[in-house]
Amino acid sequence: MRIIKRKRGESEYFYLQHSFREEVRVKTQELYLGCSIPKNIEEIKMRFGQEAKKDIYSKLAEIKSHFQNEWARIPKSAREKELKEIAIAFTYNTNSIEGSTITLAETREILENEIAPAKSLKDIKETEAHAKVFLIMLEKKESISEGLILRWHKEIFGETKADIAGKFREYLVRVGSYNAPDWQDVPELKRALIKFTGTQKMNSVELAARAHYRFEKIHPFGDGNGRIGRLIMNYILWHKEYPMLIIEKKRRKSYYRALQKDEEGFVNYFFRRYFSAHKSA
């Protein structure tokens, strides 16, 4: 979303322009702002964005309804089995994105049969710990908080990265060409993110996308930010009764490219991935 200026004669006029991809087409909508930019422009942007995405929200509502109906039909014992399957797939993909050498078949062996492959002990332990955190996360609903995020991080990395596990960074980090915010700014940024996740009334799929993007941009930990960010994303989806989204290892490049865009660019990417994953709904 951007503000554009047009001249007519000697006068200047401002418009709010929003472009987004719907199916295979890019749609562009504009809102006239006047001869100057209003003081409440951020509020106007939010309302305009929501109005432009009405069709998207309608499709998301259909996905949610379909998922709830299908989930309600599944017996409790079968639900537990399905959640374990999701845990296996999510754990494999989220760890593989970050460089784990554990395959999908090996992830299943580790989690179902407690059989460890001849692979890195670090990767094995993080596989076990991540799946455990994920399943507990689904069972217990609580507000996203600093304590919750620190607990997840400590439980996943406590045995493999003991020096940074459960601790927000107090040093500068760089991720590729991206310089994360100064560590001294991290406390205020994470407080703003936590407030955002707890107070926003936007669609829950959009909230999950924005929370994930903002968390990755803050990069509050020395390592493990991607895995915690994807947990936050699916925590929001699951407890708002939407089906979750697994970012697959094979789509890692497009996912990383989306994270390099601005927030609106990432949200548009997220919608496309979500519709693709749940197109049968």
Query: Active-site residues: which are they?
Result: 219
> Using CA atoms, how far apart are residues 194 and 129, in angstroms rounded to an integer?
24
Is the C-alpha dihedral spanning 20, 23, 24, 29 positive or negative?
negative
Residue 182, burial from CB neighbour count under 10 angstroms (0-12, 13-18, 19+): exposed
Residue with tokens 């993909």: 93
User: Which residues lie across from 17 on neighbouring strands?
Assistant: 2, 30
> Using CA atoms, how far apart are residues 80 and 139, in angstroms rounded to an integer?
11
Cα 204 → chain centroid: 11
Residue 35, burial from CB neighbour count under 10 angstroms (0-12, 13-18, 19+): exposed
Closest CA to 247 of 92, 74, 66: 92
Q: Rounded to the nearest 5 degrees, what angle is found at the Cα of 136, between the Cα atoms of 86 and 168?
A: 105
Confirm if 209 and 271 have CB atoms less than 8 A apart.
yes
Confirm if 141 and 239 have CB atoms less than 8 A apart.
yes
Q: Which two tokens stand for residue 117?
A: 């492959």
Q: Which two tokens stand for residue 84?
A: 């374990």
